[in-house]
Amino acid sequence: MANKRIDEATGVETVGHSWDGIEELNNPLPRWWLWTLYATIIFAIGYMIVYPAIPLANKATEGLWGWSSRGQLAGEMQAEEARRAGTLAALAATPIEQLAGKPDLMRAAIEGGRAAFRVNCVQCHGSGAAGSKGYPNLRDDDWLWGGTIKDIETTLVNGIRQPGNDATRQSLMPNFGKDGILPPADIAAVADHVLSLTGKSAANARGAQLFADNCAACHGADAKGGRQFGAPNLADAIWLYGGKRDQVMGSIHQAHAGVMPAWGGKLDPVTIKMLAAYVHSLGGGEDFVAATAAAPAATPARGEANAQP
């Protein structure tokens, strides 16, 4: 450095740089600072010996302590599983009808179901469980196959229209138009009759007669549906496949016969119980008993509860 000089005011040599006339004095560092540097170097060497550090051709050195992020995750998962084991065992031992009497267990089931729903159910029913056209809304008060927690569990275990499962939810609406059972004009008349039940169309006497002959067996004389066959209520505001005239006619022409997998063979009984509890808790569940009402003692003594109710 060419410009090193002795600073007049302090008698200390400068380092030789000048930034817009500002120079730096070459004051010595405190020695403890040097020791701190050495200490960090020694720490780093130790760290490299006990932890994975040096990348080699196939993998990094493993380190004396054998730590790995996968191992740590496995350990944490194991600890979490051990923590849950008691609750899961209790859930397995409790028939689903009795869950409502055990608020702590019910709460755990609902939270577990919330997680399992996101993995298994959102693909069709949506992340908010509101469904979409062809996929039922699980939060409303309309249930094709029953809305008690037991009904929901049965539907989950056996699915809907699953071949080879005797207990599956089974029914079959004829394809009135496609199979030539009714001519198009009759289908239009039936559709008008059905729509007239909710005031969307004028009354149609011929349609009413056709309905009584062809549809009332499953949907009921008053068209309020029947859970035995999963026959939808045609006199309410909810239309799974659309409630416009052409949509209703389409459904009569060719029935939809929607399906749902039988989860009994895919998920363990406890997960299914939790899913049933969660779906049942979304505001539409029939015979719902609030888990929070019976157990004030289980809530934390003080503090801001952040958990979803």
Which stretches of the chain bind another protein, using CB under 8 A?
6, 8-11, 13, 26, 28-34, 126-130, 133, 137, 139-142, 198, 233, 236-239, 242-244, 281, 283-284, 288, 290-293, 302-305, 307-309
CA-to-CA separations, 73 to 77, 85, 91, in angstroms, rounded: 6, 18, 26
CB-wise, 279 or 291, nearer to another protein? 291
Judged by DSSP in three states, 16 sits in: strand
Q: How far is the CB of 60 from another protein (least distance, A)?
A: 30
CB distance 264 to 157 below 8 Å: yes
Q: How far is the CB of 186 from another protein (least distance, A)?
A: 25
Helix ranges (DSSP H) in 215-268: 216-219, 245-253
CB-wise, 41 or 290, nearer to another protein? 290
CB-wise, 38 or 59, nearer to another protein? 38
Helix or strand (DSSP H, E) at 22: strand 22-25
DSSP letter for 141, please.
S
CB-wise, 53 or 295, nearer to another protein? 295
Q: How far is the CB of 156 from another protein (least distance, A)?
A: 21
CB-wise, 168 or 281, nearer to another protein? 281
Distance CA 215, CA 171 (A): 13
DSSP letter for 226, please.
B
Q: How far is the CB of 10 from another protein (least distance, A)?
A: 7
CB distance 289 to 100 below 8 Å: yes
Q: How far is the CB of 126 from another protein (least distance, A)?
A: 7
